[in-house]
Each structure stands twice: as structure tokens, then as C-alpha cells.
Amino acid sequence: MAVYTSLSFEESSDWFENTFDLGQVTDLVGISGGIENTNYFLTATKNNISTQYVLTIFERLEHAQLPYYLHLMSHLSQQNIKVPTPFLNRQGDILQSLANKPAVLVSKLEGSSRLEPSSTHCSAVGSMLAKMHLAGKSYPMSQENLRSLPWWRSTIQEIKPFIDHQKNALLASELAVQEDFFQSSPYAALPFGSCHCDLFRDNVLFQDNDELSGFFDFYFAGTDKWLFDVAVTANDWCIDLDSGQIDQDRLSSLLKSYQDIRPFTPEEVLSWGMMLRAAALRFWISRLWDFYIPRNAQLLTPHDPYHFEKILRLRIKDYAN
């Protein structure tokens, strides 16, 4: 959610009013935070009613990759999962073009993120995540998680020259462990489907009364093991941010609420520790990549890679082979 593609008010107004029948643009504000795409809050007025939307311009994903994400959001919304809904243009198309790049306009969820979540928040997230996984079973499209094992392999080679021997050794050893895990019988038996794959605290909103408003930012989503999605979520929602240690009360709340709706299979119970390690490795690699091979953007502050190095080391210690 950084700003790589700068838009003027006039550019956004012309595009919006020629593309949709949603009124006239009255405000455009770039959104800070995040690292992948350009995002704006766009406000428009029609019939004296003002509505705020989220405009996303995709910086890395190509047109051919995007229908999976956009139609997934539409599908989940139709299944009563609280997610942003993409708007169709006048021709009925879900995917747009703006500044010679793919773009989409979606509804804006209300509420704010809970950056210091309680067990109650974790419980709500676990319940909604299970519902989302089950709702995705009827989604007809499939697209692999583009940030899974093949991406880990190639990206490690890119960041290798920038980091010290100790970090390179940890990346190499954990990659080898995960390659063995991905080839194992328990891994093959894990249930799978559409996953968010990036359900961090800042990708979930709550109302003032702590009712969950919804999940957003589905642009890392993919067809993957559901357990990976749960592990990614747990590694952010259920830890002490300073130490990286798991908060057992929050983790228990998240997992209980999730399994009240979709119980883990025996293979998932067996694979839980390894999947926590896989989720930590994925985001350590990603943060190293963004830190050492950054792109120019307004409002962009790369995340500290050490955070997920610390988490990975803790998960290896807690769940050694």
C-alpha cells in the first residue's frame, strides 16, 4: 500500500468518471503502509451522497494474474464473508487499466486495525478465517501461491550477496528442511483451497465495538494449504512483537475458534510446527528482499527483516525436527 504511481486529482477524476457510473471525484489521498501496490482512498459524490472507495494500481502483478484475486473477493462477498467488493465498469469488467497498469476499484471497509490484539480479537479472526476457507471451496478458479517454495528458492539467490554468512546458512538450512517437508506424505495430505496468505493485523478491521469488519488486501492470495494460512496468521496475531514469542492465550483463542468451524485433520496437527516455520521463512525472505532490493515509492518504509529472522529462530527452537 505504498504509492509508486502518482496520480493527479484531474487524472483520477477523468479515469473514474469515464469508467464508472458512480458520480464525481471529490477527494484523492494516497495510502501509506504496505509494500506491493499503489493505493488511494478515492471519494466520489453522486446524488448528494459521498462514498469513499479504495483504488489499487498493481505494480508487480500482471493482468493475467489478477482475475483470481478479484473474482475471489467477489465470490467471498457473495458468500457473506466480510471482504471488499470490486466494482464493475460500464462494460461489466472487473479489472481496469490506469496509468498503463492494471487497476481495480473496491468498496472500503469501515473500522480500524487492532495492532495490539486481545484474545477476543484473535478468536474473531480465527472464526472468520475458517469460514473464509470453507466459503472458498466453491470458488472455481485456482492459482498457486506465487510466494511459495519456488519463489523462496529464487529469491534467496537474489538476496544472498547482501547478507552475512550466518544468515545465509540459516536460509539454506531451513529451505532444505522445508523442501523435505513439502515432499512428505503428511504435507501432501493437508487440505487446501483459496488462502489469504497475508492475514496480518493491519489487513483486518474492527468496528469500535470490536465486531470484526472484514479482511482486506487479498493480493498475495493463492491456492495453498489452509494450514499455511492459519500459520501466517498465528505468527503475527498471536505473538509478542518485541520478543517474537507465542502468546499461548491468544493462540489458543485463534485455534479454538477456527477449529470450532473447521477442525484440523490429523495431518494438520502433525504438521503445525513445520508450517509455523514455513510461514516465518516466507516472510523473512520477503522482508530481506524488500529491504535490500527496494523499489522507489512515496510513503514507503520497508519492514525490518530481523523481526521474522527472530521468529524463525524461535519456531525452529520450539519445533525442531
Q: What angle is formed at CA 216 by the lines to CA 214 and CA 221, rounded to 5 degrees?
A: 125
2 band by pLDDT with thresholds 50, 70 and 90:
low
1 band by pLDDT with thresholds 50, 70 and 90:
very low
pLDDT tens column, 167-192? 999 999 999 999 999 999 999 999 99
Cell of 249: 492465550
299 band by pLDDT with thresholds 50, 70 and 90:
very low
pLDDT tens column, 108-159? 999 999 999 999 999 999 999 999 999 999 999 999 999 999 999 999 999 9
What domains does the chain contain, in order, with CATH numbers? 9-62+82-107 (3.30.200.20), 119-318 (3.90.1200.10)
pLDDT tens column, 47-77? 999 999 999 999 989 999 999 999 999 999 9
Residue 140: count other Cβ atoms within 10 Å of its Cβ: 6
Percentage of the chain modeled with pLDDT above 90: 91
Does residue 296 surpass a pLDDT of 80? no
pLDDT of residue 204: 98
20-39 mean pLDDT:
88
Q: CB burial class (10 A; 0-12, 13-18, 19+) of residue 250?
A: buried
